[in-house]
Structure 1
Amino acid sequence: MASSSSAANIWVLLGLGLAGIFLMTRRLKKTIREDFGAFVQRLQLLPPPQPAPPKAPHPLTSFSFAVSDIFDIDGYVTGFGNPDWATTHEAASWTSSAVSTIVEGGATCIGKTVIDEMAYSINGENKHYGTPTNPAAHARFPGGCSSGSAVAVAAELVDFSLGVDSVGGVRVPGAFCGILGFRPSHGAVSNIGAIPVSPSLDTVGWFAKDPSILRRVGHVLLRLPYADSRLPRHIIIADDCFQLLKIPTSRVAQVVTKSTEKLFGRQVLNHANLGDYLASKVPSLKHFHSKNRNGELKVSSLRSLANAMQFLQRHEFKNCHEEWINTAKPVLDPFISSNMHAMLDRKDANIDHCESARNETRLALSALLKDDGILVIPTLADPPPKLGAKEVLSDDYQTRAFSLLAIASMSGCCQVTIPLGTHDKCPVSVSFIARHGGDRFLLDTVQTVYASLQEQADIAAKSNLSNNIISPEESAEIAKEKGNIAFKEKQWQKAIGFYTEAIKLDGKKATYYSNRAAAYLELGSFLQAEADCTTAINLEKKNVKAYLRRGTAREMLGYYKEAIEDFRYALVLEPTNKTANLAANRLKKLFQ
């Protein structure tokens, strides 16, 4: 009896122990679910009392918000994402201008949120305070530098939040977490009381899930008086930017196209090659062309703009924080540490070219967009990377990201990232850009188009295409776009491979054959180029490029009479084509 009683007691104790562990685990999971690691410090800043009637209540009454730990709040130490910074700085003696404006507008601040270490990354990772969990994709990066603020909104812990965007600090986490993220025009919102990162690029941005809240916060921060809403008269889709996209364009560009046609009519829609436009309007970019490992020049205006932005950011960060880094010798994340020390050792000879590029880019986009234009680009080319993924450290990933982020950062234009549902369980987004100073117009546009964009995105997500049952035609287009990228990188054989794949999937597109012919010409494969051009012309009788390329191939093969005929026919189709005119005249003089 005694032994059976002891055994029973042991089982009771064991059961109680397991129950306790189970309850603690549930509580821990509940805490993680509720907080998502977004906050570094909880606090409360209450708004002033409501004005007496008949005055209107404060515009942000009943809203709660959080702020990135880069904003000063009276009585609290601003941590800047690094414990050594926090221990070497005293508590702030006043509250930053942006935070004060929001509190005076009627909202309640409930805490400070995690940022990337010293706001120096776009990933959202912080080894000191932990990486906030992305509510939209738990196993993936939340994006930075304002990671905690984005997570707090995405998890519905607050109605909106504030962050800082220099090179993507609001736009990236907005895209990764599937919420709205607004970067205002440079200088439109006071950044007094926020730790500087790169003063000529820094902006105070904000996040929200609801476009009406995004707009109301914007009106308070931008101090906008009442005015009637304006609708866009030109919506320009940057085709070359969408070629960088790693998901089908039907999930982004076509969603915008269908929504635009439904709301405003087809006549509002335009297409442009932004890279070519900037190449012609921003001469200072020539100083930032990069080279590949073989020393060959890689000329892309978007890449060059990204190089200029990164150089400018590093130069200004160095000016702001070099003394503290050298004095305090903080413990930094290895990746950030290596970047910072490389940055601190760099010379500043190119800074004048950076400033010229910034000014020229602003003028170029102002001329393109005017007062009523919207530029449409992907927010980012890649979906949120998996936590711990090494791809975020690669030059290719960084180049793709910054080539898109630099457009608004370097021009000072306002930009908003708009969620478009998910693809392969990852958030999808698109970005709208308006000219510098067009913040009200951009906020009004988001309010107008948001519901339609969500409707079209939902249709796309439910289609066979977005359920990974991709049609051969769409797969061919993706292969073609990859071929175009390889061609621009002067990887001719790789480009031929992609174009060949496109032809196998859809052999009725003249463009695929014509593009492959261009790559064959670069390799000196003139017979293959001639054959591809002939096929392209049979499929599309008015394909000017095919005639030009076949004429070039035939000239190199010694078929001069046939080459002249091709160049002349190209002139019939396009009388002002200088290439065809010069070639035809040259051959006529030599061989007739």
Structure 2
Amino acid sequence: MASSSANIWVLLGLGLAGIILMTQKLKKVIKEDFGAFVERFQLLPPPQPAPPKAPHPLTGLSFAVSDIFDIEGFITGFGNPDWARTHETAARTSLAITTIIEGGATCVGKTVIDDMAYSISGENKHYDTPTNPKAPSRIPGGSSSGSAVAVGAGLVDFSLGIDTAGGVRIPAGFCGILGFRPSHGAVSSIGVIPVSPSLDTIGWFAKDPSILRRVGHVLLQLPYADSRLPRHIIIADDCFQLLKIPVSRIAQVVIKSTEKLFGRQVLNHAKLGDYLASKVPSLKHFHNKNRNGELKLSSISSLAYAMQLIQRHEFKTSHEDWINSAKPVLDPVISAEIRATLEPGDVNLDYCQSARGETRSALNALLKDDGILVIPTLSDPPPKLGAKEISLGDYQTHASSLLSIASMSGCCQVTIPLGSHDKCPVSVSFIARHGGDRFLLDTVQAMYASLQEQADIASKSNLSANAVSKEESAEIAKEKGNIAFKDKQWQKAIGFYSEAIKLNGKNATYFSNRAAAYLELGSFLQAESDCNSAIGLDKKNVKAYLRRGTSREMLGYYKEAIEDFRYALVLEPTNKTANLASNRLKKLFQ
């Protein structure tokens, strides 16, 4: 009896210890402030003006700033402890922060930023990665990760960050909040550490479109004017082809909202890549290479390559001396990228500058004063924490291609959340011409509620609709694979066919097509395996028998190969390929 009681107490003790341990682990995963802040403090606004003057426009609002903005009396950390160690406290506060505080808002602290603001992941090994409040197992996106998380978690009303090549737009999309990149040069960058000055912009985050607009009016110092609504909303169809989720989940939300608010006549469709190819002749100088040495055929991806060259060159100019002298410990994930940036190259920056000017002219001409360009913010959902996909070539190429449109043209862009898909936040982006910031803010204000309504309707689609959309997405992936196959890009084709199989693993054609690509690479075992899968799904798939026969012949399984070719002839007696292969093998081995 005593022994049983003792055992019960031991079990209870172990259970209690397990609960305490689990609680401690959860606290480590999600901190009280979601890991968003590196430093907390308060900078109070000036007293309210006496009546009859109106109160300050941002009265009662709190905000945070990325640790790239100078604040008098504080060291600006730039996401790296060695930078903080080797720099003095700031002598004055950045103009953007001063403007916001004078507008009535209270600054409550500095937030985590990627190491030297040179990444798009939001993962900082020095200060830990802020927890994405909408998807805790996913990255928050960078470089202004902490500022986005602080808003997404409801810790502040809005926040400031820096957007060079997506530093505000990406984390806004990944954390399910609004993110605004203004026209280049529209907000002063005095008192902000430069990353790439000709691309850098001071952006801001908010959950509420009204707050986003109020902050914009203060930062942009806009006088009162009547709101203007769009007369042309242009869907960039080719950009939406990059999406890894059903196109209807985003594009159709915008289309239905537009039709409801403004009528169908406002809607237009365009192939942005073709348009830029015709209007930006400088892009032809980037068609034949990219950062991985692969061919670049799309004008938009060429624009992204030009953006990367500018960013690398200007980052080197700004920070090479400090990196060489201080020899800082850099985040290992981005260390190689930064080191590569500092290596001498033979880049002709004149072409980059020409491409930038031509792109701005082209988009201004397309959008005029009353047009909005609609693109996906990113093609992929936020990767899981620690995943390697964010460093892969395809991911970087797709992300940079979409982000480069505003970065290179200097146009303003806003990220708008549209709920979630497969438990990950999704968003869309609106772009207006350079200098059209007020118009873009007005458009967001006018459309936001309708967009959320349509997004909610789309997210509540029944399971059969989801299945159909998955099948449609699989077909799109297969077609992309077929195009890559025709272009003799075998590995790329395998990637697309694999994506199709992941979306719909019951289609024999996807396995058979991937087998064909494996054959071209000499991967005969993989080809045979795929053919087995295809035949298991469809006993009458002639191509699968032919490809399995070829695989087995190359592997030395001649008897089995002859049987495959014979069976192909049973299914299709006039098939010349099967007939020739069968006769050839019979002569050799029978």
The answer to whether the superposition gives a TM-score over 0.5 is yes
Q: How does 1:146-165 map to 2 (within 5 A)?
A: 146-165=144-163
Query: What residue is the counterpart of 2:476 in the other structure?
Result: 478
Q: Post-superposition shift, 1:46?
A: 0.3
Q: Post-superposition shift, 1:23?
A: 6.6
Query: What residue is the counterpart of 1:208 in the other structure?
Result: 206
Aligned equivalent of 1:71, options 60, 63, 69: 69
Relative to structure 1, the CA distance from residue 239 to residue 53 in structure 2 (aligned partners, 3 Å threshold; closer, same or farther) is same
Q: How does 1:168-567 map to 2 (within 5 A)?
A: 168-291=166-289, 297-347=295-345, 349-464=347-462, 468-471=466-469, 474-475=472-473, 478-479=476-477, 482-483=480-481, 486=484, 491=489, 494=493
Q: Deviations over 1:244-294 (max 9, x none)?
A: 000000110111111111111111100000001111111111121244899
**Contact 2:254–2:451 (Cα < 8 Å) also in 1:** yes
Task: Measure the CA separation in 1 of the matches of 2:139 and 2:289.
Answer: 30
**Contact 1:461–1:467 (Cα < 8 Å) also in 2:** no
Relative to structure 1, the CA distance from residue 481 to residue 274 in structure 2 (aligned partners, 3 Å threshold; closer, same or farther) is farther
Query: What residue is the counterpart of 1:553 in the other structure?
Result: none
Query: What residue is the counterpart of 1:131 in the other structure?
Result: 129
Gaps of 5+ in 2: 505-512, 514-519, 521-590
> RMSD across aligned C-alpha pairs, in angstroms?
3.2
Query: What residue is the counterpart of 1:544 in the other structure?
Result: none
**Contact 1:243–1:485 (Cα < 8 Å) also in 2:** no
**Contact 1:160–1:207 (Cα < 8 Å) also in 2:** yes
**Contact 2:296–2:302 (Cα < 8 Å) also in 1:** no
Q: How does 1:87-98 map to 2 (within 5 A)?
A: 87-98=85-96
Q: Deviations over 1:225-249 (max 9, x none)?
A: 1111101000000000000000000
Identity of counterpart residues, as a percentage?
76
Task: Measure the CA separation in 2 of the matches of 1:383 and 1:128.
Answer: 25
Q: Post-superposition shift, 1:339?
A: 1.2
Q: Post-superposition shift, 1:476?
A: 6.3
Query: What residue is the counterpart of 2:49 in the other structure?
Result: 51
Query: What residue is the counterpart of 2:582 in the other structure?
Result: none
Secondary structure at the counterpart of residue 36 of structure 1: coil
Secondary structure at the counterpart of residue 468 of structure 2: coil
Query: What residue is the counterpart of 2:113 in the other structure?
Result: 115
Q: Post-superposition shift, 1:469?
A: 2.5
Task: Measure the CA separation in 2 of the matches of 1:352 and 1:162.
Answer: 32
Task: Measure the CA separation in 2 of the matches of 1:489 and 1:333.
Answer: 38
Relative to structure 1, the CA distance from residue 380 to residue 13 in structure 2 (aligned partners, 3 Å threshold; closer, same or farther) is same
**Contact 1:40–1:113 (Cα < 8 Å) also in 2:** yes
Secondary structure at the counterpart of residue 204 of structure 2: strand
Secondary structure at the counterpart of residue 442 of structure 1: helix
TM-score, structure 2 normalization:
0.79
**Contact 1:39–1:112 (Cα < 8 Å) also in 2:** yes
Task: Measure the CA separation in 1 of the matches of 2:236 and 2:75.
Answer: 43
Task: Measure the CA separation in 2 of the matches of 1:192 and 1:489.
Answer: 48
Q: Post-superposition shift, 1:22?
A: 5.6
Higher mean Cα deviation, 65-74 or 465-474? 465-474
**Contact 1:423–1:466 (Cα < 8 Å) also in 2:** no
Secondary structure at the counterpart of residue 469 of structure 1: helix
Matched letter for residue 276 of structure 1 = D
TM-score, structure 1 normalization:
0.79
Task: Measure the CA separation in 1 of the matches of 2:487 and 2:53.
Answer: 62
Relative to structure 1, the CA distance from residue 44 to residue 481 in structure 2 (aligned partners, 3 Å threshold; closer, same or farther) is farther
* Runs of at least 4 residues off by over 2 Å: 10-34, 290-298, 346-349, 464-495
Matched letter for residue 351 of structure 2 = H
Matched letter for residue 445 of structure 1 = T
- Alignment length, in residue pairs? 499
Relative to structure 1, the CA distance from residue 365 to residue 244 in structure 2 (aligned partners, 3 Å threshold; closer, same or farther) is same
Task: Measure the CA separation in 2 of the matches of 1:315 and 1:295.
Answer: 18
